[in-house]
Amino acid sequence: MSDALIQDLRALIGAPHVLIGADLAPYCGDWTGHYTSAPCAVARPADTAQVSAVVQACARHGVPVVPVGGRTGLVGGAMTTGGLMLSLERLNRIRDIRTEARVAVVEAGVILAALQDAAADHGLYFPLWFGARGSAMVGGALSTNAGGSNVLRYGSTRALCLGLEVVLADGQVLNLMGALHKDNSGYDLRDLFIGAEGTLGVITAAVMKLVPAAQAHATAMVALDNLPAALTLLNRLQGETGGLVEAFEYMPESYLRRLAEARPDLDPPFTPRPAIALLVELGATAPRDCAAEPDGSLPLTSLLETVLAGALEDGLIHDAHIARNEAQRRAMWHRRELAAEVSFARKPLIDTDIALPLDAVAPLLERFEARLPDLDAGAETLAIAHLGDGNIHLTIFPSHDAPDHADRIVALLEHEVQTLGGTFSAEHGVGLSKKASMARRKDPVALAVMRQIKQALDPQNLMNPGKVLP
């Protein structure tokens, strides 16, 4: 069956773009090293019409289709055994940037950093910012509803998308490529495909929002003792800056210690290490905030200094370093963006991606740390967070790697998260790794509706089968 499909695909998109044998190697692993794939082939179509033709061929031959982008996922969402990997990497054109409407019309294979560079040429910014932006693609970000450090101000990928183009399981092209901020004409089909991880169709293009590029940033590392104080500081910053906070990132002492061990070449942000370090960034476009004063200082930086000085006087924080140039700002961000490298440097590990109401973050960490020794007295944890939107990346290092042991630890975490009104999946998607969590924690009625939608749109169960739904 796969041999016949490969012959059909070669005729449809050209033999050089149907990879088999040794050419599959780059596609057979994931970034985490946890999942491996054995696809029958990788197809690299050049445009939406070719994607449609490939999907139709797979439907005829009964071969599953697994869309792949930059292959930076962390949950096994792009893995397959025997299916066809459909790579969107050649759909990499920025079709249009409409500066007055502040939108970009892009194909799914556009790398996030490339879109950000193109927007910058027009004085605009695409505000989806995370460590893998140099390789992650628009289609993958949409398929997982990716988040990142700027969600606090601009929202996740779903909030940044106005329109979609999707190839359905039967090869039909669903054109939802409007640039409307309001459209009340029936069901919101666009949102149905965002976050679906390719299980309902293949996203091939999108209309994405752009925002005015910040003309000034004010960035600081802040030292403090506890999370309630951090939440008070966030609310104070939001109020006193008029909502200019773009990032509010949490790095506890345990992360700073592991970072120092992994990268002794980097200067520590504070000595001695505080219980908590925050990376705080403001961004502004208004001339009143960005025009240099006679002494060379920026009003935005002065505003941040004023707020932090007040927090220091009130005992909320006990130290702060403000970036005085772009090099210092980049150094601060570099410490934060090494989180994945630091977290995945030790094995075995359990990678989790949870979100909670902001005032529940501290209770969750306290409760989980108190109960974890009951399951594994030798386990250690490492937390880092987009604290401004309640998204915690909590890595657990168990004392042994038995799958049932890891599952018990995850179930304990899920229980505490759910009790506090949170979710077990914030921004990485569900893929394979969180299917058990879906079975345990997702509302049964919601799961039933999801299955009905899947059956209606993909009756052969060929679109990234085995992912998301338990």
- DSSP E strands in 103-181: the ranges are 103-107, 124-125, 161-167, 173-176
Peptide bond into 272 cis (omega under 30): yes
Q: Which residues of the chain have pLDDT under 70?
A: 1
Domain with CATH 3.30.465.10 in the chain: 94-212
Domain with CATH 3.30.70.2740 in the chain: 346-428
Per-residue tokens: 161 = 């998308």
pLDDT of 33:
80
The hierarchical CATH code for the domain 346-428 is: 3.30.70.2740
Beta sheet of 84-87, edge-to-edge order: 18-19, 41-43, 84-87, 65-68
pLDDT of 2:
79
Nearest CA-CA partner of 463 in 242, 199, 109, 207: 199
Q: How many residues does the chain have?
A: 470
Nearest CA-CA partner of 208 in 179, 239, 182: 179
Compute the distance between CA of residue 52 and CA of residue 168 in angstroms, rounded to an integer: 8
Name the β-bridge partners of 223.
Answer: 277, 319
- The domain over range 216-340 is classified in CATH as 3.30.70.2190: yes
Q: Would the pTM of this model clear 0.75, i.e. be above it? A: yes
pLDDT of 1:
63
pLDDT of 204:
98
Per-residue tokens: 352 = 């989790």
CB 141 within 8 A of CB 72: no
φ and ψ at 464, to 5 degrees?
40, 55
Name the β-bridge partners of 278.
Answer: 222, 250
As its CATH architecture, domain 94-212 has 2-Layer Sandwich (3.30)
Per-residue tokens: 447 = 């799961």
Q: Hey, which CATH number is domain 2-90, 1.20.950.20, 3.30.43.10, 3.30.950.10, 3.40.50.1820?
A: 3.30.43.10
Give 224-267 pLDDT, tens digit per residue: 999 999 999 999 999 999 999 999 999 999 999 999 999 999 99
Per-residue tokens: 114 = 């490339």
pLDDT of 365:
97
Domain with CATH 3.30.70.2190 in the chain: 216-340
Radius of gyration of the chain (CA): 23
Compute the distance between CA of residue 104 and CA of residue 179 in angstroms, rounded to an integer: 9
